[in-house]
Amino acid sequence: MDLKKALDNMAFFSSKEYKVIQYIMDNPNQFLDMTIRDLSKMTGVSISTIVRVTKKLGTEGYYDFKIEFFKQRKQQNKINYSMEEASITRRDTPYQVIQKITAIEMRISDEVKNEMDLKQIERIVEYILKAEKITLYGSGVNRHLNELFSYSLLRAGKNSYVPSTWDDRFLRMRLSNERDVAIILSHRGNNAKYYRLMQELHQKNIPIILLTGSKESKMATLATEMIYINPGHRFEDMANVIFTTSVSYVYDVLFAYIFNQQYDDIVDNT
């Protein structure tokens, strides 16, 4: 159940159903105190329409929907720290540092989760499962994050490789074919060498999965699938923690879904 995503998917809801969702999003506190008759009166739609909305959002009915909505609101309030509140300062005690890092990681994971398109995750995992070879491209810390994911893929029985030099990256790209998959991790999506590499991958009809902090980058225009990663901004606001948490969360979700789809094969071979 994700009301924000529901608002972006108007085709799935009638105008009256959409009106109910919009009212709840605009008045979350008032909604929690409302009966279904109250909500019907405030929105001018029938009770049956409201029930239909709650079921489309994956719950059993109005009462069940309110319980789930309350849980989400409660969780969001716990992790809704501002960057200023979560910044590390020289005055922080060890306990405060631990609390702030926990809050940052919870908030970032929640943000990435809300950005995710479940259908897209299914498509990406299908690409990975069908691929003969998976090459993960990234430089610096991105290469190290890719190596962790590559290890998980290897444990799942997938042939994956992380090239460590530019010569090796372009060699792997030229040896690839359309039965392979390329995964590229880039902070801002504006690296000229990776853009050139992606152009050649694109010409060879090789699926490209791009993880980046810029949805409007040149690299994003060449990606078969693009997943947004929070790049962080200021070092003192734990930008490195924000970025690595975002990437790790996405890779963990992808691996977990691969594990789910290949459960018997993976368990039998471990």
Q: Which pLDDT tens digit goes with each residue over 205-230?
A: 999 999 998 888 889 999 999 998 88
pLDDT of residue 74: 65
Same domain, residue pair 23 and 128: no
**pTM over the 0.75 mark:** no
Number of domains in the chain: 2
Same domain, residue pair 236 and 183: yes
Same domain, residue pair 136 and 244: yes
Does residue 102 lie within any of the structural domains?
Answer: no
pLDDT band at 234 (very low <50, low <70, confident <90, very high): low
Same domain, residue pair 253 and 168: yes
* Mean pLDDT computed over 196-209: 95
pLDDT band at 91 (very low <50, low <70, confident <90, very high): confident
Same domain, residue pair 142 and 243: yes
User: Is pLDDT larger for residue 77 or for residue 50?
Assistant: 50
Highest mean pLDDT among 21-30, 73-82, 230-239: 21-30
pLDDT of residue 163: 95
pLDDT of residue 86: 63
Q: Which of 78, 103, 127 is the last residue of a domain?
A: 78
User: Is pLDDT larger for residue 256 or for residue 235?
Assistant: 256
Same domain, residue pair 165 and 246: yes
* Mean pLDDT computed over 25-31: 85
Q: At 34, which CATH number? A: 1.10.10.10
pLDDT of residue 222: 93
Q: Which of 18, 46, 78 is the last residue of a domain?
A: 78
pLDDT of residue 70: 79
From residue 114, how far is each of 1, 140, 150, 234, 263 by CA, in Å? 10, 27, 25, 23, 26
pLDDT of residue 76: 58
Same domain, residue pair 124 and 22: no
Q: Which of 53, 78, 103 is the last residue of a domain?
A: 78
pLDDT band at 66 (very low <50, low <70, confident <90, very high): confident
Same domain, residue pair 145 and 220: yes
Strand order in the sheet with 160-161: 160-161, 134-137, 181-186, 208-212, 225-228
What would the pLDDT profile of 140-175 be if each residue is shown by its tens digit?
999 999 999 999 999 888 999 999 999 999 999 999
Does residue 86 lie within any of the structural domains?
Answer: no
Does residue 99 lie within any of the structural domains?
Answer: no
Same domain, residue pair 130 and 196: yes
User: Is pLDDT larger for residue 9 or for residue 195?
Assistant: 195
DSSP letter string, 233-256: S-GGGTHHHHHHHHHHHHHHHHHH
- CB-based burial, 119-142: b 16+ in 10 Å, e otherwise: eebeebbebbeebebbbbbbbeeb
Same domain, residue pair 52 and 186: no
User: Is pLDDT larger for residue 174 or for residue 233?
Assistant: 174
Same domain, residue pair 194 and 127: yes
With a cut of 90, say whether residue 138 has pLDDT above it: yes
Does residue 97 lie within any of the structural domains?
Answer: no
Does residue 90 lie within any of the structural domains?
Answer: no
From residue 99, how far is each of 22, 73, 106, 150, 187 by CA, in Å? 34, 20, 11, 31, 26
Does residue 167 lie within any of the structural domains?
Answer: yes
Does residue 111 lie within any of the structural domains?
Answer: no
Q: At 146, which CATH number? A: 3.40.50.10490
Average model confidence (pLDDT) across the chain: 86
pLDDT band at 200 (very low <50, low <70, confident <90, very high): very high
Same domain, residue pair 122 and 14: no
Q: What percentage of the chain exceeds 90 in pLDDT? A: 46
Range of the structural domain that residue 17 is part of: 3-78
With a cut of 80, say whether residue 5 has pLDDT above it: no
- Tell me the C-alpha distance between 54 and 220, whole Å: 35
Does residue 88 lie within any of the structural domains?
Answer: no
